[in-house]
């Protein structure tokens, strides 16, 4: 009696068929996983939208993206660099972190704060903590990674282990002086056209263009160390102290590698200190870290200037690790996905600024720019 068995040829054919099926299935599995991550990312944003509205209901205002204790010249406490996200904490179920942050907090054994002079009489950090760039590896609120603030599609991490974010605040469509604080002698009030600004609280009543037509927050991509356009920050030394970027956004677009447009050219210096990169500190109001402007479309470069007050002028772009665009939170609490191809007007236009006598005019950056302004009286439709 003959033994019934597969021949070698039959086994090879079966293995080949299985290999083909696996090859066909894996992309579908990866696509399904990314779809789930993207949905989770959108849900996080909806939670932040609810937190924003609940905060406004409670206080009849929005938190400024730049608040806290101390004054700019004192060198003490946090110098009003605390981001708006801190105010939202109790409103998206992070009451425990809010309690830690808003009360004196005792260092653990062996922890030495960078500024011992700010400690209270019993050796605690004061309420609202140290300056936001200090004690990143020991102050517990700074160390806390909040899942709601991280998009699952972005794998970025930091060696300091402090909490990061993928959700930033919209500062409007200006380039020059857009990050200046309220005490700066060279402040340009006409440049503050977004819903958030340093040290000044906004209100929904200020949004004359309509809550449904105004961007409140947007996704940002963190730095993965691979020079990708959407997560990298061009060092302020590249464009230096020239205000030319205010009349030519193309200067920022030109940092892309001609052979690999999704990456910054190797000749362009980057700011990659980790703890001061895009999204590196959820608690920091610094525009380079936790803000964006609607000058260039999502997933464009971020190019700060050394002009005036360093890092407070420039182009700060939204971005994400999703394919083709980024999530945006509108002022009415809705979340939409804006593609990289959104109409963004004239990149060679003069920035809205007292320098160019165009304060109060409609955004020169098309639909994208108009969505970033809260009271420029533009009538736009979401793409």
Distance CA 328, CA 343 (A): 15
CB 337 within 8 A of CB 323: no
Distance CA 161, CA 79 (A): 23
Q: How far is CA 93 from the centre of its chain?
A: 21
Distance CA 328, CA 168 (A): 10
pLDDT, residue 35, reads 78
pLDDT, residue 276, reads 79
Exposed e or buried b per residue across 35-64, where buried means at least 16 C-beta atoms within 10 angstroms of its C-beta: eebbeebbebbebbbebbbebbeeeebbbb
pLDDT, residue 168, reads 96
pLDDT, residue 16, reads 83
pLDDT, residue 111, reads 86
Three-state DSSP state, 279:
coil
Q: Which pTM does this prediction carry? A: 0.89
Distance CA 220, CA 203 (A): 24
Higher pLDDT, 15 or 97: 97
- The tens digit of pLDDT for each residue in 57-84 reads 999 999 999 888 765 555 556 778 899 9
In the chain, what are the domain boundaries?
10-65+147-383
Per the document, the length of the chain is 383
Average pLDDT over residues 86-94: 94
pLDDT, residue 37, reads 85
Distance CA 340, CA 324 (A): 6
Distance CA 206, CA 208 (A): 6
pLDDT, residue 248, reads 93
Average pLDDT over residues 274-299: 91
Is it the case that residue 291 has pLDDT exceeding 90? yes
CB 163 within 8 A of CB 342: no
Distance CA 54, CA 371 (A): 22
């Amino acid at each position: 009696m003959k033994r019934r068995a597969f021949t070698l040829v039959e086994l090879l054919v079966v293995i080949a068929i299985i290999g083909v099926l696996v090859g066909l299935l894996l992309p579908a599995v990866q696509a399904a996983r990314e779809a789930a991550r993207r949905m989770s990312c959108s849900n996080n944003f909806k939670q932040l939208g609810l937190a924003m509205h609940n905060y406004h209901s409670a206080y009849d205002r929005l938190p400024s993206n730049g608040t806290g204790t101390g004054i700019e010249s004192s060198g003490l406490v946090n110098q009003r660099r605390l981001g708006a996200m801190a105010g939202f904490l109790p409103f998206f179920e992070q009451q425990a972190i809010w309690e830690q942050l808003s009360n004196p907090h005792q260092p653990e054994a062996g922890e030495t704060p960078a500024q011992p002079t700010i400690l209270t009489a019993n050796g605690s950090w004061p309420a609202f903590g140290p300056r936001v760039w200090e004690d990143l590896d020991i102050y517990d609120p700074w160390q806390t990674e909040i899942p709601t603030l991280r998009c699952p599609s972005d794998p970025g991490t930091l060696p300091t282990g402090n909490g990061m974010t993928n959700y930033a605040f919209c500062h409007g469509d200006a380039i020059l002086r857009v990050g200046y604080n309220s005490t700066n002698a060279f402040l340009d009030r006409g440049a503050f056209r977004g819903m958030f600004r340093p040290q000044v609280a906004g209100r929904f009543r200020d949004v004359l263009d309509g809550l449904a037509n105004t961007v409140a927050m947007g996704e940002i991509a963190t730095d993965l160390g691979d020079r990708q356009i959407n997560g990298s920050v061009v060092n302020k030394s590249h464009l230096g102290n020239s205000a030319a970027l205010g009349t030519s956004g193309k200067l920022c677009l030109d940092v892309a590698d001609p052979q690999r447009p999704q990456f910054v050219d190797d000749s362009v210096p980057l700011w990659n200190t980790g703890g001061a990169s895009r999204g590196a500190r959820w608690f920091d109001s610094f525009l380079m870290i936790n803000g964006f402007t609607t000058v260039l479309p999502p997933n464009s470069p971020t190019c700060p200037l050394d002009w005036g007050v360093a890092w407070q002028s420039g182009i700060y772009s939204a971005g994400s690790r999703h394919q083709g665009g980024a999530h945006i939170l509108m002022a009415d609490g809705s979340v939409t996905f804006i593609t990289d191809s959104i109409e963004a007007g004239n990149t060679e236009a003069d920035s809205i600024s007292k320098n160019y006598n165009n304060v109060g005019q409609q955004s020169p950056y098309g639909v994208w720019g108009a969505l970033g302004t809260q009271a420029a009286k533009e009538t736009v439709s979401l793409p």
